[in-house]
Structure 1
Amino acid sequence: MRRVFALLMMIALALPAWAEDRPRAGLMWNRSGLPATLPLVVKTMPGRDYVVFLAPQDGGDPVMAGYIHGGEFFRLLVPPGTWTVLFAHGREWQGEDALFGPLTEWTRMDRPMSFGAGVARKQGHIIRLIENGGQMQIVSAGPLDLCQGLTLTTERIDLDDKRDDPNRLPTPGLRRLDNDLDTRSRVCG
């Protein structure tokens, strides 16, 4: 009886090792070749995890993927362009190839989403997913526009031109301007 119990314990302890640890939330990979600078915010319910995929709007393999821990704040910077957005979701992560195993469910945006940037504005999106009657559905998808502003800080620095040469005459009034340019983003209102 002890041996049977020991064997059952070994099997029970080994089962969780077969499932992979879930990845940390955030970017899994970017194969687009483009810089990821535009915001995608996804709000989800707790109880399951998600993988968001961005694929070209005219078809083809996904170019970007991000892992979402259900119920936690999620923001991913994506490349400019118009993308089809898909979500794989489930409860037990099985790895990048199997995703959530045979119980992986899929949710797809009805139409492609455009991400872009101008001189003073970045255009992204917010997506909210909820579970309704056992089915995952998108209840809201809207724009997320970020306005960008530049702040220029100038500091005047008086130069002491005496240096270490005692035979050199001082040159009064020499100054240098030290400029610092800072970009700040905020949600457009």
Structure 2
Amino acid sequence: MRRLIALLLTIALALPALAQDRPRAGLMWNRSGLPATLPLVVQTLPGRDYALFLSPDIGGDPVMAGYIHGGTFFRLLVPPGTWTIRFAHGTDWQGEDALFGPDTEWTQVAEPMTFGASVARKHGYIIRLIETEGKVRVASSGALDLCQGLTITTEVIELDDELRDDRNRLPTPGLRRLEIDVDTRTRVCG
């Protein structure tokens, strides 16, 4: 009986470890050396997970990777530049080297995508992946522009008389301090 209980406890303790092998959705790594500030949104179908890779459009190794749980909207901030975007997908994650094992399939966005920003606008993309005839493909990709507005509010605050210098005997108007509050708002450009 003790052996059976020990065996059941061993199995019960091993199950959470197996469930943790699937990475958390989000950024896996960023080796670009650039700040990731521009939006990339990906819509996927349930039933498989995805590893997203950004590579320079001129070729070379990926500079950024993210992990997507299938069936969810995924948002990743990427660095400015022109990137080739590829997706590895499958059902049984086996680590960054093996990805989804021998059953790993690949899908790529047809054209490189250019991410950029100006003073009041961030330019990113939305990608929608679908499955047709058992193959995952890019159904659509479109621009996602975010506009940023800046609001500045000021307030003049009268300071108490006790803060004045006693050596100044000339009549002076009340001392004031200007408080400035800056607020940025981001919205999808229309």
- 2:183 is aligned to 182
1:181 CA drift (Å): 1.3
Number of residues of Structure 1 aligned to a counterpart in Structure 2: 182
- 1:102 is aligned to 102
Q: Kindly tell me: are residues 167 and 58 of structure 1, through their superposed partners in 2, closer, same or farther at Cα, counting changes over 3 Å? A: closer
Question: In structure 1, what residue type is equivalent to 2:26?
Answer: G
- Distance (whole Å) between structure 1 residues aligned to residue 124 and residue 66 of structure 2: 16
TM-score (norm 1): 0.87
Q: Percent identity?
A: 74
Kept in 2, the 8 Å contact 1:54–1:65? The answer is yes
1:163 CA drift (Å): 3.3
- 1:26 is aligned to 26
Question: In structure 2, what residue type is equivalent to 1:84?
Answer: T
Structure 2: tracts of 5 or more residues without a match: 1-6
Q: Residue deviations 1:82-141, cap 9 Å, x none? A: 000000011011111111111111001111000000111110000000111110011010
- 2:154 is aligned to 154
TM-score (norm 2): 0.86
Q: Kindly tell me: are residues 121 and 164 of structure 1, through their superposed partners in 2, closer, same or farther at Cα, counting changes over 3 Å? A: closer
1:65 CA drift (Å): 0.4
- Distance (whole Å) between structure 2 residues aligned to residue 151 and residue 163 of structure 1: 31
- 2:68 is aligned to 68
1:149 CA drift (Å): 0.5
Deviation >4 Å, runs of 4+: 13-20, 164-171
Identify which range, 74-83 or 169-178, moves more after superposition.
Answer: 169-178
Q: Kindly tell me: are residues 67 and 39 of structure 1, through their superposed partners in 2, closer, same or farther at Cα, counting changes over 3 Å? A: same
- 1:138 is aligned to 138
- Distance (whole Å) between structure 1 residues aligned to residue 140 and residue 18 of structure 2: 36
1:173 CA drift (Å): 2.3
Q: Kindly tell me: are residues 47 and 175 of structure 1, through their superposed partners in 2, closer, same or farther at Cα, counting changes over 3 Å? A: same
- Distance (whole Å) between structure 1 residues aligned to residue 182 and residue 17 of structure 2: 51
- Distance (whole Å) between structure 2 residues aligned to residue 15 and residue 119 of structure 1: 50
| CA RMSD, 1 decimal | 2.5
Q: Kindly tell me: are residues 15 and 180 of structure 1, through their superposed partners in 2, closer, same or farther at Cα, counting changes over 3 Å? A: closer
Kept in 2, the 8 Å contact 1:161–1:171? The answer is no
Kept in 2, the 8 Å contact 1:162–1:168? The answer is no
1:184 CA drift (Å): 1.1
* Structure 2 residue matching 1:162: 3-state secondary structure: helix
Structure 1: tracts of 5 or more residues without a match: 1-6
Kept in 2, the 8 Å contact 1:20–1:94? The answer is no
- 1:49 is aligned to 49
Q: Residue deviations 1:42-96, cap 9 Å, x none? A: 0000111101100000100000001101111210000000000000011011111
Q: Kindly tell me: are residues 176 and 165 of structure 1, through their superposed partners in 2, closer, same or farther at Cα, counting changes over 3 Å? A: closer
